[in-house]
Structure 1
């Protein structure tokens, strides 16, 4: 049985590192977008206090990470190809 080759299995260590960096950029971008959408903020009337506000950023970051791992918005892939093109030239 032959294992199919994909971009992930044939990528160089540099490509894998570049792809991971691009994914982290997308994660941070999405986390900021979720913050702008006020996701995770406590309602004023029934808030969870200072602790909830402090840890809301962790929740947004993890949600953004899950979104990116699920395909995201395509930003990581675009960044990867743009950076790869600059390296290869």
Structure 2
């Protein structure tokens, strides 16, 4: 049960172009208490969600191929976002 509690406040994202698989993954995450945004099937849409500063993103599930487009730019944006947030989080811990 502790795992479900950890997921409760997490903003988890699921991006898949296979909609049925994406819905199943989202359902499993929600069952564990996560707040799921998505699924999103297009790289441009996923990128705009990642770049939304108000969005809480704690985890992401990416399909490498989204309707023929690679999701590498989305992964890079998630990494940049993590690096931007990390110093702020570290300053609060100290």
More strand by share: 2
Tell me if both proteins adopt one fold, taking TM over 0.5 as the criterion. no
More helix by share: 1
Larger Rg: 1
**TM-score under structure 1 normalisation?**
0.32
Task: Pick 1 or 2: higher relative contact order, CA cutoff 8 A, min separation 6.
Answer: 1
**TM-score under structure 2 normalisation?**
0.30
